[in-house]
Structure 1
Amino acid sequence: MQQAAPSASLPERARGVIPGGVNSGQRNVPGLTDLVITRAQGASFWDSDGRRYTDYHAAFGPPLLGHNDPDVVRAVAEAGGSLDLCGVGVTEGEVELAETLVELVPSMERVLLTSTGSEATFHALRVARAATGRRLVVKFQGCYHGWHDSVSLNVISAPDRVGHKDPISTGILPEVLDATLVLPFNDRDAVRAAFAEHGADIAAVILEPVPHNVGCLLPDQEFLVTLREECTRHGSVLVFDEVITGVRHGLGGWQEVAGIVPDLTTMGKAIANGYPIGAIGGRADLMDMFSSRPGAPVFFAGTYNGHPAVVAAALATLRKLHAEPVHEHVFRLGERVRTELPPVLASLGVPAVVTGYGSVFVTYFMDRLPHTYDDLLDNDTRMFVGYRRRMIDQGVFELPLNLKRSHFSYAHTDADVDRLIEVTEAAVRAQLADEGPLTDMDGTSTMGGATRC
């Protein structure tokens, strides 16, 4: 067995056996490559040096209740005392969770559980193609739907790549990319034009109803209505990827907020406060095409689907979200930041807007609220990344990567908001005074525009 040198640090040991030293690409953050997290609780996490950070990144958002919520932890422990993975039949918890999601989410008539949101979106597109017999999928610039090939393009694109196929990975077959149409978000005319030209071959339209992977672009209601109308008119499947918007914006997801019912909905780990689970649900006729129903034609499987521990976590999470004023609390904290931070930034003379929805907030360094991805190209990346790096030194953690959103949890307090505003002001002031160039992850100057992250 290979042994690390006795004097090697944990990050050095990790880099010796794990490519890059981390198990997901966006965990390798410039300036934080030696970060070792040893504990997480409530609104905070601690590193190996004993430093505490108030956490607004929160693993891209799923622990709405806060880290290690005691009710969720207790439910998982109790499930482990009586059940583990058997891989046959169904458990009572799986039935109860499916019934709960059908009750909460307007589009869900049937539900299947997966282990990740990426799996859920993969299955959504597969069943849409099977049901329609069509080839094309429509996605939108700035939306992220997981790691699989047909949607692994045009998320955070550099200015010269907007309007072109912009895959986020090599190794994807060109013919797979050719089967995906990328449209600008919030552009009804582009949607109508795409359907006018390709409607007979569009199997599905998939979108984050709020593109949170680029911070927060709030959708025009008319845009969502147009998507519903065009999909209905042309027999295409409308898929809402609610992995992020899901329970964070309301127990019924953004579809409940907007009053727009998609054909399929995908959800992820937020329904279990961060435990690894996903779900796909929607119209019964589509869901009944999956091979979990004997004789159905669309293959569906997964050894970990419906694992008792994650099902218990999801049930405990949803019960708590229903029983306690979680949304009221996190929405109020989010509104405080969106209201109180802009005048602080204005007093510093820096162009900035603070936007978001509910518990999600993001500060863009530009002179207007963004409406489209093209608007985001004006965000001052140097300031966006730079002030967040400075905040980390003060024990306040917002992910220092361009366009990434921040989140409140049930565990955050008004005192945390006070501290967040205070530290943000100091960090922006210090960044303004810094005359040296900030470099991005590949060592080039980031004086504006969208970097890939």
Structure 2
Amino acid sequence: MSSGPGSSTSGAGARIAERARRVVPGGVNSGQRSVPGLTDLVITGTGGARFRTADGREFIDFHAAFGPPLLGHNDPDVARAVAEAGTSLGHMGVGVTEGEVLLAEQLVELIPSVEKILLTSTGSEATFHALRVARAATGRRLVVKFQGCYHGWHDSVSLNVISTPERVGGRDPISTGILPEVLEATLVLPFNDSEAVRAAFAAHGQDIAAVILEPVPHNVGALLPHQEFLTTLREETTRAGSVLVFDEVITGFRHHTGGWQTISGVTPDLTTFGKAMANGAPVGALGGRADLMDLFSSRPGGPTFFAGTYNGHPSVVAAALATLRKLREEPVHEHVFRLGERVRTELTALYQRLDVPAVVAGYGSVFVTYFMPGYAPGQLPGSYTDLLANDAALFVGYRRRLLEHGLFELPLNLKRSHISYAHTDDDVDRLLTATETAVRSALADGGAGDLAHTSTMGGARD
């Protein structure tokens, strides 16, 4: 694909990317940014629903940085708020600013589980602290996570995200360098399997400190939870005295300002949030029951250490306040939900017309196509094991070909796509037309060939 980003003839992009590889391992600052076949992708500008590359190309962006810029790239209201904050307030590292208080008050108001909240710089930090305080509160050792869910880079949860078939059912770390005894303290269960949850609590309930899950495992596309499954988690953790943690780094704010817990009516004990609350600015948060949150050392005498140099930085607080204001005052969710429903409906019709076995899944502004047979209209996969049937070559192959039409969906297996407030119906028209052409081309060429191996990648959100 000589005209696409990452090709050997891509000029300026290739030169900058080569410079990067000489001084940055792999040329990128996060493992998920190195995409096979796109190693010379150099971004020079972002705005709204588009980005530009060093080679002068512009793409309609349906990847959207793994989802945080719900309003679109460089939203002018958010950018203005950040710039204004920078004229009067720098980072002090002591005390508190009124902006931090305003943000905390709004999050307590919006999120059912949140009585008190602490800011972090990343979602990984938030999930790390959630598990630490759960162990502190319960005095227990074990953590339960679910196959296909990703909760960040720390050792307790760095396993069993996108696993190969033979690694499903056992412990499948996504990194070397993790102590075996740390991995042994994490139980991995299948998502949406209430019986497995009950069995785990029957066997280990008195030693389970926490259950952590993405209420929608978006790191493998979009597995929607069964209501009975979420209810079972709440019942079993309550009965055993364990801490239920919803990782809403992705579902929070994108699907509802109150998170998935508002949609489902199931309230966890702790909730983690991420960059979506600030339209992509580097912020995370951990909130929940006051008795748990008061265990942190931010409260004098709290026994569970909590710190972070950039927690509550004025610029990211300003971004978060501006983002929340827009989410509450403008029809953001109405717009992205309408476009998302249109994409899912019309993609489903497109694949039926092409006679391609496919399931178009998602929720609200999120969509993903799994290329797999055997699903009736309206039927959706419910577990990671179901997704092993996805045709990874076709999945990656058609997305590679979308690049030729100026559209970007991340060409890695199982990765979801996103609608932002900046996307338009014209953008959706272009997506639908290009997708049909790209899928036809990928089918004619036999998919993606050697790129199909990307189905085994472990990490998920940037």
The bucket for the TM-score relative to the shorter chain is over 0.9
Contact 1:366 1:380 survives alignment (8 Å)? yes
Quick one: distance in 2 between partners of 1:150 and 1:327? 34
In the other structure, the counterpart of 1:116 is 122
TM-score by length of 1: 0.96
Quick one: distance in 1 between partners of 2:196 and 2:13? 58
In the other structure, the counterpart of 1:423 is 434
Q: How does 1:65-104 map to 2 (within 5 A)?
A: 65-104=71-110
CA positional deviation for 1:61? 0.1
CA positional deviation for 1:49? 1.4
Contact 1:154 1:167 survives alignment (8 Å)? yes
In the other structure, the counterpart of 1:434 is 445
CA positional deviation for 1:350? 1.1
Quick one: distance in 2 between partners of 1:292 and 1:452? 34
In the other structure, the counterpart of 1:190 is 196
Quick one: distance in 2 between partners of 1:146 and 1:8? 30
CA positional deviation for 1:435? 4.1
1:382 to 393, 402, 414: 393
What amino acid is the match of 1:270?
A
In the other structure, the counterpart of 1:3 is none
In the TM superposition, what whole-angstrom CA distance separates every residue of 1:211-268 from its partner, at most 9, and x where no partner exists? 0000000000000000000000000000000000000000000000000000000000
In the other structure, the counterpart of 2:181 is 175
Contact 1:159 1:449 survives alignment (8 Å)? no
Local SS of the residue matching 1:362: strand
Q: How does 1:122-161 map to 2 (within 5 A)?
A: 122-161=128-167
What amino acid is the match of 1:17?
V
In the TM superposition, what whole-angstrom CA distance separates every residue of 1:251-303 from its partner, at most 9, and x where no partner exists? 00000000000000000010000000000000000000000000110000001
In the other structure, the counterpart of 2:424 is 413
CA positional deviation for 1:8? 8.3
Percentage identity across aligned positions?
Answer: 76
Contact 2:13 2:54 survives alignment (8 Å)? no
In the other structure, the counterpart of 2:409 is 398
What are the ranges of 5 or more consecutive residues in structure 1 without an aligned counterpart? Answer: 1-5
CA positional deviation for 1:372? 0.9
Quick one: distance in 2 between partners of 1:436 and 1:176? 39
* Residue 308 in structure 1 maps to residue 314 in structure 2: yes
CA positional deviation for 1:105? 0.3
In the TM superposition, what whole-angstrom CA distance separates every residue of 1:330-375 from its partner, at most 9, and x where no partner exists? 0000000111111211221211111100000000001222111110
Contact 2:118 2:287 survives alignment (8 Å)? yes
CA positional deviation for 1:422? 0.4
CA positional deviation for 1:436? 7.5
Local SS of the residue matching 1:334: helix
Local SS of the residue matching 1:371: coil
In the TM superposition, what whole-angstrom CA distance separates every residue of 1:111-167 from its partner, at most 9, and x where no partner exists? 000000000000000000000000000000000000000000000000000001000
Quick one: distance in 1 between partners of 2:215 and 2:203? 24
* Residue 254 in structure 1 maps to residue 254 in structure 2: no
Mark the CA change 1:79 to 1:172 in structure 2 (over 3 Å): closer, same or farther: same
1:53 to 51, 59, 62: 59
What amino acid is the match of 2:434?
V
What amino acid is the match of 1:59?
A
Mark the CA change 1:358 to 1:392 in structure 2 (over 3 Å): closer, same or farther: same
Contact 1:379 1:449 survives alignment (8 Å)? no
Quick one: distance in 1 between partners of 2:230 and 2:448? 41
Let me know the Cα RMSD of the aligned residues.
1.4
1:228 to 214, 226, 234: 234
Quick one: distance in 2 between partners of 1:344 and 1:24? 35
In the other structure, the counterpart of 2:218 is 212
Contact 2:272 2:287 survives alignment (8 Å)? yes
Contact 2:224 2:382 survives alignment (8 Å)? yes
Quick one: distance in 2 between partners of 1:238 and 1:260? 10
Quick one: distance in 1 between partners of 2:13 and 2:387? 45
Mark the CA change 1:403 to 1:285 in structure 2 (over 3 Å): closer, same or farther: same
Quick one: distance in 2 between partners of 1:347 and 1:328? 29
What amino acid is the match of 2:205?
G
TM-score by length of 2: 0.94
Mark the CA change 1:435 to 1:381 in structure 2 (over 3 Å): closer, same or farther: closer
In the TM superposition, what whole-angstrom CA distance separates every residue of 1:63-92 from its partner, at most 9, and x where no partner exists? 000000000000000000001110000000
Quick one: distance in 2 between partners of 1:396 and 1:438? 21
Quick one: distance in 1 between partners of 2:209 and 2:324? 32
Quick one: distance in 2 between partners of 1:402 and 1:17? 28
Contact 1:39 1:45 survives alignment (8 Å)? yes
In the other structure, the counterpart of 2:169 is 163
Contact 1:62 1:270 survives alignment (8 Å)? yes
Quick one: distance in 2 between partners of 1:274 and 1:334? 20
Quick one: distance in 2 between partners of 1:390 and 1:436? 10
Mark the CA change 1:350 to 1:76 in structure 2 (over 3 Å): closer, same or farther: same
In the TM superposition, what whole-angstrom CA distance separates every residue of 1:300-328 from its partner, at most 9, and x where no partner exists? 00010000000000000000000000000
CA positional deviation for 1:450? 5.6
Quick one: distance in 1 between partners of 2:45 and 2:401? 22
What amino acid is the match of 1:126?
R
In the other structure, the counterpart of 2:247 is 241
What amino acid is the match of 2:356?
V
Quick one: distance in 2 between partners of 1:10 and 1:101? 41
In the other structure, the counterpart of 1:201 is 207
1:327 to 333, 337, 353: 333
Mark the CA change 1:452 to 1:119 in structure 2 (over 3 Å): closer, same or farther: closer
Contact 2:397 2:448 survives alignment (8 Å)? no
In the other structure, the counterpart of 2:6 is none
